[in-house]
Structure 1
């Protein structure tokens, strides 16, 4: 009986320990709001050079369980400072002492009453030196840390999400048409809304900065070189055959290699934009040509035409995607609508693509980020990512939109 009692006590202690294992939210996973200005957040040092108090520094996590949560900062200051620390509606002013080494500084305690996304928010209040604080990490302890989720990696982009369009068996997609509409406020800097993707490339529109937006079309080289195009044999490189007026074209690397083209164009949130891809196989090569419909001119514009080696087939693996490619604002939500996708076969038959399979990238698969989704509404498919809100789709989900039954009318310019 004594042994059973001791064993039961040991198991109970182990269970409590498992429920309250401390976790550390790394400093390099933080985000600054409203922008990463007068503060640096990087993989090597976490939060440093925090000199301005016009922003907050935020650490996000998802609590799967309720219970107590104790917050401790791993921080230091060059001359002493004060921060306001907030979590779950509880705020405390914390003094950061002068220290060349990081110190464990108790901040606050709170009670998590329901599962969901939360943020530890730091706000600079007062400083005697140059910086408010350098923050190496945020420690969390308590019952609510059981099965807690947070991003442990310095990759601060949100998950990329995709719509994969099945093509009827035996049909060759010579032409691929699609449309995109981005709601106002969802066009964050560092977002790529891709309409017409296929096995060798992708075509869509991007927000590159507050001042610049682009229409982008790229085709991958043959082979598997990941970074440097000058390592790719000439016979494996795609070749630029033509490009439109004011279109920039070059080779690219760093995400595979290939031919890249873009046209700087100030597309607007709320408007609908049209994309058209063409594929012409010849022997063991295929020529891929991208056209963008310019509403202001009421005509199709040639973006670029590339010849891809070691191919020789029509477009396959047709898809759209939504990508957040900037680290600094990987916490901000973005959403796009994708619709009216069609193919025209090599025999002249138009086929409407009304079904899509939802997939996502390695960030989602590793559960580094849980905030993403997609579906169908108001006659469109939609994709969204980031914002730290619950997912509304799972890998492999099938979406369906109503058919319009009317294929696009396309008149290309004569050259």
Structure 2
């Protein structure tokens, strides 16, 4: 039975067909690694389907190597050999061409010790490079491998198995990015939040290129910090238009996000591809291991407009005064909206498919919300959720939780243990509300 006919990536069978394109990355030394997850240990027999050009290949699984000659003109499945999987969890099958092929090398060795790529090997090549162009380039590199798919058989496949099944919904792209994970904070009933405060700490070594550590999400937008390339980092604040489109040029003037002000050195413009709206960002060299403050305000005017304003605090720029270190990012007005802040949340995502093999983690702590009177309440409960890549079982390398004082999120890197979606976590309450003078925060121009 060919599993490409099934509806999800978590099928129970002792035979699975793993597409190369949605589950593979170029790897060192000079080859490709394909990841799949099993819920059982046991034997696995591997077959390879090539593009018909033939050649001699070597394969490695759990550091045991086997070689096979693919006949020229043969586009069917050819048996490679049998391996024993000692444990359940994620497994990487490495393939390298020994003859007739020139293989592009990228990434890391065939090991679960996840190494950060060299700066020359990854990252967006320039500001404004189209995401679709990057996707096409990555697909072209994968096609150079000459591998179309693997068929895996054996006892190890008799339980639940996880991999990207097909490209319906563009999951060869989304699956290689990896699962996005979220923390949804629980407000007291009937509490009208005007302010939302959060603190973000990215541990050293977890700041992989392509990471978006989103601190202050709300019903109409998000606010956080990114690793855009080996040499650039940003603080990003975006508000969606109420007009649903992926092309900002199609938004009617009456439904466009209006920029009311911005801080020094902040870029403002429009964004598209995943909804459209107003975007602002500050190029800022934030550092792993340090804690940064994020403050968001949402104020409805009662006439169908809500103004959203974001501030960012650098602890190294602060002095003795209460509001030292805070800087305004931007203020946007959203039409067709009459609401206080809702759906307060944080998330972690990877937006570069080529770094989808690298684990990343972030801590969120000291969450507070305040109403229009300035009354602060702590947010000490959070519900863990994830995107469709996780929910349909194409990737299972996602986690979230609490260390007691802070919440955390983790994704990518093909770690074995995952957090059940829908789990609820608690953190300990702290003694006092944020020391911020809300009436004297910096304004923009």
Normalised to the residue count of structure 2, the TM-score between the two structures is: 0.79
Whether 1:31 and 2:62 are equivalent positions in the alignment is: no
Partner of 1:145: 157
Query: Does the 8 Å CA contact 2:221/2:238 hold for their aligned counterparts?
Result: yes
Partner of 2:240: 220
SS at match of 2:162: coil
Whether 1:177 and 2:200 are equivalent positions in the alignment is: no
What are the superposed Cα offsets for residues 186-220 of structure 1, whole Å, 9 maximum, x if unpaired? 11111100111111110000011111111000001
- Which structure carries more relative contact order (alpha carbon 8 Å, separation 6+)? 2
Partner of 1:163: 183
SS at match of 2:363: strand
Cα distance change on mapping 1:20 and 1:196 into 2, 3 Å: closer
Partner of 1:279: 298
Residues matched between the structures, number: 376
Query: Does the 8 Å CA contact 1:193/1:206 hold for their aligned counterparts?
Result: yes
Shift of 1:105: 3.1
Cα distance change on mapping 1:384 and 1:103 into 2, 3 Å: same
Residue 405 of structure 2, aligned match among 379, 383, 387: 379
What are the superposed Cα offsets for residues 256-299 of structure 1, whole Å, 9 maximum, x if unpaired? 11101111111111111111101121021110000111234322
RMSD: 2.2
Shift of 1:128: 4.0
Whether 1:105 and 2:78 are equivalent positions in the alignment is: yes
Whether 1:265 and 2:284 are equivalent positions in the alignment is: yes
Shift of 1:362: 1.0
Partner of 2:37: 62
Query: Does the 8 Å CA contact 1:342/1:407 hold for their aligned counterparts?
Result: yes
Whether 1:86 and 2:99 are equivalent positions in the alignment is: no
Partner of 1:400: 426
Query: Does the 8 Å CA contact 2:369/2:379 hold for their aligned counterparts?
Result: yes
SS at match of 1:222: coil
Shift of 1:382: 0.3
Partner of 1:22: 15
Separation in 1 of the partners of 2:196 and 2:147? 49
SS at match of 1:208: strand
Residue 219 of structure 2, aligned match among 199, 209, 233: 199
Shift of 1:250: 0.7
Query: Does the 8 Å CA contact 1:91/1:108 hold for their aligned counterparts?
Result: no
Shift of 1:243: 1.0
Residue 366 of structure 1, aligned match among 392, 412, 429: 392
Shift of 1:302: 1.0
Question: Which of the pair is proportionally richer in strand?
Answer: 1
Separation in 1 of the partners of 2:17 and 2:422? 32
Separation in 1 of the partners of 2:13 and 2:253? 58
Cα distance change on mapping 1:296 and 1:20 into 2, 3 Å: closer
Gaps of 5+ in 2: 1-10, 104-143, 167-171, 319-324
Cα distance change on mapping 1:362 and 1:414 into 2, 3 Å: closer
Normalised to the residue count of structure 1, the TM-score between the two structures is: 0.85
Partner of 1:135: 147
Rg (Cα) greater in structure: 1
Partner of 1:118: 91
Separation in 2 of the partners of 1:383 and 1:222? 29
